[in-house]
Structure 1
Amino acid sequence: MTRLPQGGLIDRATRLRFTFDGQPMTGHPGDTLASALLANGQQLVARSLKYHRPRGILSAGLEEPCALVTLTDQTGSTPNLKATEIMLRDGLAITSQNNWPRLSRDAGAVLQLGGNILAAGFYYKTFKWPRHGWSKRYSGLIRRLAGHGKIDPEAPQAQYDKRNRHCDILVIGSGAAGLTAALTAAHAGATTILIEQDHLPGGSLLFSGSKLDAERAPDWAADAVGALAELSNVTVMPRTLAFGQYDHGQILAVETMPPGSNSHAILWKIRARRILLAAGATERPIVFPGNDRPSVMLAGAVRSYIRRFAVAPGRRAAVAVVDPDEREDTLAALREAGIGVAAVLPRGATITGTSGRLRLRSLRWRDENGRRHRATCDLLCVSGGWSPNAHLFAQMGGGLSYDETTRNLLPPDAAGPLRPIGGTRGILDTYDCIADGKAAAHQALAELEMHKHLNLPRPAPKPAPEQRFHSGRGKAFVDLQNDVTRADIALAQREGYRDIELVKRYTTLGMGTDQGKTSWTNGVLEIAALAGRDPAEIGHTTYRPPYSPVTIGALVGVETGGDMIPTRRTPFHRGFERMGCVFLTSGGWLYARYFPREDEAMQAAINRECNAVRTGVGCVDMSTLGKVEVRGSDALEFLSRLYCNNIGTITPGRVRYALMLREDGYVFDDGTIAQLGDDHFLVTATTANAASVWRHMTKSAQVDWPDLDVTLTDVSDHWASLAIAGPHARDLLLALDPDFDGSRAAFPFARVREGHLGGNLPVRVFSVSFSGEVSFEINTPAGFADNLLTRVRAQGAAWGITPYGLETLDVLRIEKGHLSVGTEIDGRRTARDLGLGAMVSDRKDFIGRALLQRPALQASGREELVGLTPEGGTSPIPHGAVMSEEPLDDDGRATGCGHLTAAVHSPTLGHPIALGFLADGRARMGDTLWAHSPVAGQSVRVRVGPVCAYDPQGERLHG
């Protein structure tokens, strides 16, 4: 194995340095790690998963099942990468996997002696006892024996990004069919994207020995790529792996960025009107004893290493290639590299085995007459034909059908957005691929009405050659990555695992990082031969994304840590910052938590804020509530169907508390409905459910009741909302000089008024309360937020205006027994469970009504919301406690009858209070229970009482 003195598509003027298991090596730009290793004489690169057999480099692409390594660079260590997919760059540190103490002498190789014991199903049959043996003994040992590398959690985090693109025609793959299709579509004026997982477009043309239009195939490909680069309506994306197909023409792809880029990789969501899948085909190995030995390579890979990378993978080769044209091209490539040919296996030969400890040394076979032959060689070029790469097509449920003529799983003709072309549908001749790409592009253009329809004929797949190689007895591997042998498949058949899905899981056939690209077709043929079944009857397993492994970092993108979701700030954020506010994240918002004074602890600040609201006036930011304007002649009917309570009697200027159920009858959200005009309503939703309620409303309007005249507008971000609450709230409102009558008689509870404050500040004012005090939510366009806050603070100074945050808001609402999403409204409660059964109308239909009548939801004994106070009066009630009739027994256990949802100290009442769900809770008022918290190590006696602990008659909010 040496670097050839000339040829190849590498930059010989630049030398790159890297290490493999600590040994310094060199390569050139344009090399993959695999080609560089071969150029440095390193054929042994890994050990197999189960038996720890020596493994080398089988292929030159994503189908590589053997050469898995760990790559270490400035972003840390990444295990389980295929050497064939790593583009060489300077300074890489490569480590082999699954061996100890070193690759050439692996102690785990002793497992080869137990080959018959470690057959299919070994783990299922063996590690069932003792009871805790797997977690305590076996798991760690097996993970070490089958270790596939480690990551470095302390390494600098790589940067990833997510982006979107759209086009008329997306071409996946840049071989002869893909390049032709892209050129045809682009010249017709279609916006075209061509993506290629390799860094260099061209596919198999890059190592083809044929000529196209009297031009070398690599040069023809380079000219085609150059022509595409000159067109403004074409985007060529190399180093981009299309790994998943989804609904409505969406393809997910990962682009690996070159060194020096800001991002390590970009996840692309590409939406195309038509997709032409030109992913080519994968060469199949031959199944025979010893076929996993290093230096047994696919013939197409050998041609690629010679012609593209200028590497001679051996010095003396044997050739076992089914297709005569492929065989002659392989022999021509061997001659070009100066590699001697030890043997060319004849038709019908039976391969009986190979020899060599760490790499191939010789090959044995018998001819048709039974004569034995042996060839000394350090390279064996094998090819059992080609399997179309139709995985993306099959991911959307498009099944592949076994074709006896080509002996392949082929995609059928389909009418969806994705169309296989070229090698993906079994077309292997280069000129046929060109014709197929052109015809498919014209067909797609005609469907998009961008081109006059040209009924160009599409080539048909050619029959597979009749020549086959037979296999002698011995350990013959079907899946090289998972050490699945022909004997394993036979055992699965004998033990009743005959369905292809069961065979996969019982033997692990095709479950590795290569996703069975080199093993599935052979696996189907082996099952057919062993069971005497038709391969077409066997079928294939379900194809799922990703087509090839994708780093989780690319799927996550930049959405990590504090950036997992966008941080939203309310219009009052800057004003609150100037007031010394402490913020916290709530429902995606950076929300005001509390407003400490100098050297004031949080609990002291909460107590002060609560007292201010109960005795004077406070202000709180309510901008995060969801707000939806509903207009149209059927707006009231639409809302009546959405909400379970009777809102038909609402009139302009009034506000109604409303309850929304899910289809299954459980409470979804609560909020308010304000009628602003005859056909104009404003609906509010809780902060946590704002997006979900919006989706629910739009789905109902567009899908469920499209006949209703209703228009929805999400105005959540349009309005800044500042609530003023407390006994002096009305005084403050009047001091703000509204141009409407703000007196108690003219503006009572549950009303809405529109107008201006001070003659120039536009507002909507809602007389609603979450605190139980007189309260007005003042909404103003978001751009006026600072103006409103300044006026409220200035005018409110006469009554000691106190800003308060989420902590105080939670205390105030628990004192009043108001509900919160995620605690009381947790997706498992009916209106009756929450004490709101009277709100459910029996005079109309609404979403959730039918399933709300289920006996289980109407039965007695359900958990109901109750209030709780400590029996001793002052004992803190632990958060998240479980309620029980008895104290804990000697083992620290007790039978639960309910649980707490919220617990706080009430500054107003002077003692702790809590809310919780208790079985038959409303029938147990006055009962005494235990509240146990194993986490806090506390048990407190509590008394069951009403949900509302403060002002139960609601007199204060009307003041």
Structure 2
Amino acid sequence: MMRLSTGGLIDRETTLTFTFDGHKMIGHAGDTLASALLANGRHLVARSIKYHRPRGIVSAGLEEPSALVTVTDETGSTPNLKVTEVLLRDGLQVSSQNAHPSLENDRAAVLGLGGKMLSAGFYYKTFKWPQAAWSKTYAPIIRRAAGHGQVDPTADPALYDKRHRHCDLLVIGSGPAGLSAALTAAQAGATIIIVEQDHELGGALLDSDTQIQGISARTWVQDARDALAALSNVTVMPHTLAFGHYDHGYVQAVETQPPGSVTRAILWKIRAKRILLAAGAIERPVVFPGNDRPGVMLAGAVRSYIRRFAVVPGKRAIVAVADPAERADTIAALLAADIQVVAALEPGARLLGTSGKRHLSGLVWRDEAGKRHRTYCDLIAMSAGWMPTAHLLAHMGPRLSFDADAQSLLPPARDGILQPVGGARGVLGLDECLTDGKAGAHQAMAELEKHKHLDLPRPTPTPAPTQAFESGPGKAFVDLQNDVTRADVALAQREGYSDVELTKRYTTLGMGTDQGKTSWTNGILEIAKLSGNDPAEIGHTTYRPPFSPVSIGALVGTEVGTEMTPTRRTPFHTGFERMGCVFQTSGDWLYSRYFPVAGETMAQAITRECNAVRSSLGCIDMSTLGKIDVQGPDALEFLSRLYCNAFAKLQPGRLRYALMLREDGYLFDDGTIARLSENHFLVTATTANSGSVWRHMQRCAQVEWPELDVTLTSVSDHWASLAIAGPHARDLLSALMPDFDASGDAFPFAAVREGLLDDLPVRVFSVSFSGELSYEINTPAGFADILLDRVMAAGSQWNITPYGLETLDVLRIEKGHLSVGTEIDGRRTPADLGLGGMVSQKKGFVGRGLLQRPALQAEGREQLVGLIPEDGTTQIPYAAHLSDTELDANGLAQTCGHLTAAVLSPTLGHPIALALLTNGRARMGDTLWAHSPIAGQSVRVRVTPACAYDPKGERLHV
């Protein structure tokens, strides 16, 4: 065991067991997986992604580039977790990745001998010839070799959640700057949220043995915790990673829940008036040959493992730290842990290379005088400086600028909701961080008018050491996670990929879960050295959320399975259940599918329901249609601009079928426009598009034409709508005792009446989707059961039959009605569907300009037609493509169209289909082939008009 007998912040009374690659190990409460592995003497924990080189633990935080593992617990396996971010808990099963057959003896390590063959861009250059080998040879090999870890194919049984919070001030990070800022702002009475990724507040102070205001740093942190916990206006959120910064003070964060919690993680959506980014800084590795071996660690991480976790990360250490104060602090920590410091390198020393097979065993280096040394060691504590953790600031666009004094990317001075403080601004000294946090909080409070502005001085960013470490020739890694070497960066420059964005993509520098946390500054310096350009001119690539990987489960939350969207039930749902209805999902709705009687199959039920509607009387739920109430002096003008129809002369009490186009001239939706009074209209939209139509209308009213005086109200859920259809529909309407004249002359097709059915308030629309005489009776949703009971009771004398979506599809396909919400592909014009005559030539409307494009008016477009099987009996296969020829020997044929729907028509006694066919209206009577690769069937078909039943529409007026 490599554990100190005393010290640290671990709970030695609580022992936790876990396994690594099947080997049982122990740790303590307060350990991370990284500290527990090191305490068990385990340094080799992973293999690198490309060369499969041995990799160990480099850091102690989220910047960890190498030690990626798969962790299995009661909720399943999660790959690519950094051992530094996993809080140890009892029973964890940890597995190494990217190694076969074992971590110690990885056969793929032979790739490390590939050298120049696997240099930057090798995949672009290698897998070109022969072309036929790509799909059969190269692609399978690459897919097997690519990536780290394997995703657990089983469903994740864990629960996740999404929640919201808001505050005056959000403090991200709880180091010296963050705690100082939170204490200062809390005293001003502001509502404060402190977000900390670690399970403990304190940040770098947890690793420090310095004093603050005469007390130890840890005691100061505890006092600060107690003070904040006593304040009702402060919310402290440990275990919470702020991973994304967006517009208007919006931050997303994931809170990991402790074992035993109902939820595994919570996605927090936090809206803050002001944000202080106190995320600290990331230590920069030294680039030298062999700097990736297990045992080469960041100096700050070494101090953290010794002081916070009481772990001895080695026995013989070399210190290569550029900053004199940090070098002395690192040596003091090593000596306090009884670790022998065999060499303390000064900046200017030249690091020539390391040795060791699976763990560091030595370093070859030259001192400033040029003398060569070979020093045996099992630990190198290195540091080339620090880079501000300003990623969240950069998410919103302001680019970081390279500062020559700090030798790092620094956030620019700017006004805005989010301001960096402390290490995130390049301020590294303890006293300076405390001062900067306090000053940042005062500024935020003044901007929120919580107190008068105090013009407190802000510390300047800490300059970098004037001299850096030199490196010898050899394989020196700039990006440890992606196996990007100094030679790769140089090759990218020579081959023309010199721009920083191109260098990233050609070499993979800064990609992966690390996103360049430890590599980008070194990468910029390497590019500058090779190109001779100023690092400030080189810049950096775009920073994007997430700052560190987060679980997809947390992003999804509870919206999985049947909870993905709310299940919507119509007002008639309960009544239809009593009738034995079989339901199906249609969008978000549970829609009535069919109503079987005892012993009936679905096909038999559909046939019976169709025959009932055609010969007598049926009823169907139409409540799912979108319904939008449009009122105001400019209501007619507003709708006239939205729809391509000419309906300026539409009188109150009448309605009209209408088409809505997109801005590009393609058909968007269809529905009806009913004029209830002079300035009052009711618009319907298809079930599938109702939400999109509502958003489009809102945008037009608020953004495109704000000068129009019009009020829109979505009333889709306010009205229950039951359609009665069939030759006896008017008889039933009269039997329901309307207070208006329901005769054919007084209430013709395409009309609307408002009134009472006996004592029931209704709106009745004379419209039809079935091709039969039909009325849609709308009543306030609360009266749905009453309406259904009365319709079924009064209609019993005509043997009224409820029918569902399956039957409705058969009826409307017989009439040649296309389901605009589900059967068009976004590339159809009104003329394609035989509705070109509805497009007004005298007014402007959305989409008119682009509808005139030559390609949309040209001949040769696909047009709506009907199909019947040539032999009159064979079912036309679903998902079929149309062709003039049979399939050739390879199973191919040139297509000229495709089906949109196909059914067996009980009314006509044979199968029919609707299709979109090139020049379809000019091909009536032609014979084609319908090939369905899904059904594995080809059928000879004949082209007919789309409307196969009652083409003159006479039955609408019986």
TM-score, L = length of structure 2: 0.98
The one-letter amino acid paired with 1:160 is Y
Taking the aligned partners of 1:145 and 1:881, their CA distance within structure 2 comes to 39
1:337-379 deviations in Å (ceiling 9; x for gaps): 2222111112311112222222222222211111122333221
1:212-263 Cα offsets, whole Å, 9 max, x none, are 1112212222222222222222222111111122223222221111111111
In the aligned structure 1, how far is the partner of 2:948 from the partner of 2:901? 13
Worse-matched range after superposition: 925-934 or 474-483: 925-934
Q: C-alpha displacement at 1:144, in angstroms? A: 4.5
Question: Aligned-pair distance for 1:156?
Answer: 5.1
Q: Closer, same or farther in 2 for the Cα pair 1:477/1:829, shift >3 Å?
A: same
Decide which moves more: 450-459 or 627-636: 450-459
Q: Tell me what 1:133 maps to.
A: 133
- Aligned-partner SS, 2:489: helix
Q: CA shift at 1:769, angstroms?
A: 0.9
8 A contact 2:321–2:347 mirrored in 1: no
SS of the equivalent of 2:868 reads strand
Cα deviations across residues 177-225 of structure 1 (Å, max 9, x unaligned)? 2222223333323222211111112111111222111122122222222
Whether the aligned pair in 1 keeps the contact of 2:688 and 2:822 (CA below 8 Å) is no
| C-alpha distance in structure 2 between counterparts of 1:88 and 1:171, whole Å | 26
Cα drift, residue 526 of structure 1: 0.9
- 1:946 corresponds to: 945
Matched AA of 1:58: V
What is the CA-CA distance between 1:399 and the residue it aligns to? 0.9
**How big is the shift at 1:264?**
1.4
Does 1:903 pair with 2:902? Answer: yes
Residue 467 (1) aligns with residue 467 (2): yes
CA gap of 1:50–1:233, structure 2 versus 1, over 3 A, is same
Q: Which residue of 2 aligns with 1:776?
A: 775
Letter in 2 for 1:626: G
Contact 2:625 2:684 in 1 (8 A): yes
Q: Which amino acid aligns with 2:396?
A: M
Q: Write the letter of the residue equivalent to 1:917.
A: L
Aligned residue number for residue 756 of structure 2:
756
CA contact (8 A) 2:689 2:821 kept: no
Mapping of residues 541-580 of structure 1, within 5 Å: 541-580=541-580
Contact 1:76 1:151 in 2 (8 A): no
CA–CA distance in 1 between the matches of 2:229 and 2:774? Answer: 65
CA distance in 2, matches of 1:581, 1:903: 23
Give the superposed CA RMSD. 1.6
Equivalents in 1 of 2:462, 2:748: separation in Å?
A: 84
SS for the counterpart of 1:867 is: strand
Deviations 1:542-576 (A, max 9, x none): 11121111222222222223322221111111111
Q: Which residue is equivalent to 1:121? A: 121
> In structure 2, do the counterparts of structure 1 residues 272 and 118 end up closer, same or farther at CA, with 3 Å as the change threshold?
same
Match of 1:797 in 2: 796
Q: How many residues align?
A: 958
SS at the partner of 1:313? coil
CA distance in 2, matches of 1:648, 1:187: 65
| 1:572 maps to amino acid | F
Structural mapping, 1:469-508, within 5 Å: 469-508=469-508
Distance in 2, matches of 1:771 and 1:185, equals 67
Counterpart for residue 418 of structure 1? 418
Please list the CA deviations of residues 882-902 of structure 1 after superposition, one character each: whole Å capped at 9, or x if unmatched.
Answer: 222233334433322211111
Q: State whether structure 2 residue 683 is matched by structure 1 residue 683.
A: yes
- Alpha-carbon distance in 2 for matches of 1:318, 1:925: 87
- Partner amino acid for 1:879? Y
The residue number in structure 2 matching 1:167 is 167
Please give the residue correspondences for 1:262-661 in structure 2 after superposition, counting only pairs within 5 Å: 262-661=262-661
1:395-428 deviation per Cα after TM superposition (whole angstroms, max 9, x unaligned): 2222111111111111112333322222111111
One-letter identity of the residue aligned with 2:872: G
Over residues 884-931 of structure 1, what are the superposed CA-to-partner deviations in whole Å (9 max), with x where a residue is unaligned?
Answer: 223333443332221111111111111111111112222222323222
Letter in 2 for 1:584: Q
Q: Unaligned 5+ residue runs, structure 1?
A: none
Does the Cα contact within 8 Å between 2:927 and 2:940 map onto a contact in 1? yes
Q: What is the SS of the residue equivalent to 1:703?
A: helix
Does the 8 Å contact 1:97/1:147 carry over to 2?
A: no
After superposition, the Cα gap between the structure-2 partners of 1:856 and 1:155, relative to the gap in structure 1 and judged at 3 Å, is closer
Aligned to 2:191: 191
Counterpart residue identity of residue 812, structure 1? L
User: Which amino acid in structure 2 is aligned with residue 558 of structure 1?
Assistant: T
1:513 partner SS: coil
Cα distance, 1:255–1:606 mapped onto 2, change above 3 Å: same
Deviations 1:778-824 (A, max 9, x none): 11111211111111111111111111000001111111111213554
How far the C-alpha of 1:43 sits from its partner, in A, is 1.2
1:594 is aligned with what amino acid? Y
- Contact 1:323/1:467 (<8 A) preserved: no
Distance of aligned partners of 1:480 and 1:309 in 2 relative to their CA distance in 1, 3 Å threshold: same
1:564 is matched by which residue type in structure 2? Answer: M
Q: Specify the alignment match of 1:886 in structure 2.
A: 885
Q: Which amino acid is the alignment partner of residue 499 of structure 2? A: D
Say whether the 8 Å CA contact 1:500–1:540 is kept in structure 2: yes
Query: Residue 32 of structure 2 contacts residue 88 of structure 2 at CA under 8 Å; is this kept in 1?
Result: yes
Percent identity over paired residues: 72
Q: Which secondary structure does the structure 2 equivalent of 1:3 belong to?
A: coil
Q: Which moved more, 1:593-602 or 1:169-178?
A: 169-178
Amino acid in structure 2 at the alignment position of 1:203: G
Question: Relative to structure 2, which stretch is displaced further, 828-837 or 502-511?
Answer: 502-511
In structure 2, the CA distance between the partners of 1:889 and 1:296, relative to structure 1 (3 Å rule), is closer
Question: Is the Cα–Cα contact under 8 Å of residues 175 and 202 in structure 1 kept in the other structure?
Answer: yes
Asked if 2 retains the 8 angstrom alpha-carbon contact of 1:816 and 1:948, the reply is: yes
Deviation per CA, 1:838-892: give whole Å up to 9, x if none. Answer: 1111111110011111111111111111122223222222222222223333443
Distance in 1, Cα, partners of 2:354 & 2:924: 84
Structure 1 CA distance for aligned equivalents of residues 226 and 716 of structure 2: 50
Match of residue 840 from structure 1: 839
- Structure 1: how far apart are the matches of 2:889 and 2:97? 51
Q: Counterpart of 2:313 in structure 1: which amino acid?
A: P
Deviation at 1:155, TM superposition (A): 5.9
Question: Is the 8 Å Cα contact of residues 349 and 367 (structure 1) preserved in structure 2?
Answer: yes
**What whole-Å deviation, never above 9, does each CA across 1:684-729 have from its counterpart, x for those lacking one?**
1000000000000000011111111111111111111111111111
Q: Which amino acid counterpart does residue 920 of structure 1 have in structure 2?
A: N
Provide closer, same or farther for how the CA distance between residues 922 and 781 of structure 1 changes in structure 2, counting only shifts above 3 A.
Answer: same
Inter-partner Cα distance in structure 1 for 2:895 and 2:119: 49
Determine the C-alpha separation between the residues in 1 that align with 2:642 and 2:577.
Answer: 39
Residue 811 of structure 2 corresponds to residue 812 of structure 1: yes
* Equivalent-residue separation in structure 2 for 1:185 and 1:75 (angstroms): 40
Bigger shift: residues 444-453 or 334-343: 444-453
One-letter amino acid of the counterpart of residue 858, structure 1: Q
CA distance in 2, matches of 1:366, 1:919: 78
Alpha-carbon distance between aligned partners in 1 of 2:33 and 2:891, rounded to the nearest angstrom: 59
1: distance between equivalents of 2:368 and 2:893? 79
Q: Distance in 1 between matches of 2:659 and 2:897?
A: 24
- Structure 1 position 943, deviation (Å): 2.3
Q: Which amino acid aligns with 1:909?
A: L
Distance in 1 separating the partners of 2:879 and 2:614? 27
Contact kept in structure 1, 2:767 and 2:775, CA below 8 Å:
yes
The question of whether the paired residues in 1 share the 8 Å contact of 2:45 and 2:55 is answered with yes
Q: For residue 629 of structure 1, report the CA deviation from its aligned partner.
A: 0.7
Matches of 1:766 and 1:932, distance apart in 2: 41
Aligned with 1:585: secondary structure?
strand
Structure 2 partner of 1:666: 666
The alpha carbon displacement at 1:132 in A equals 3.9
CA gap of 1:892–1:484, structure 2 versus 1, over 3 A, is closer
**3-state SS in 1 of match to 2:627:** strand
1:952 corresponds to which letter in structure 2? P
Q: How far apart, CA to CA, are the structure 1 residues paired with 2:746 and 2:590? A: 36
What is the CA–CA distance in structure 2 between the aligned matches of 1:681 and 1:721, rounded to whole Å? 17
How far apart are residue 279 of structure 1 and its match? 1.3
Secondary structure at 2:782 match in 1: helix
Q: Mapping of 1:71-86 within 5 angstroms?
A: 71-86=71-86
- 8 Å contact from structure 1 (residues 51, 115) kept in 2: no
CA contact 2:687–2:821 (8 Å) conserved in 1: no
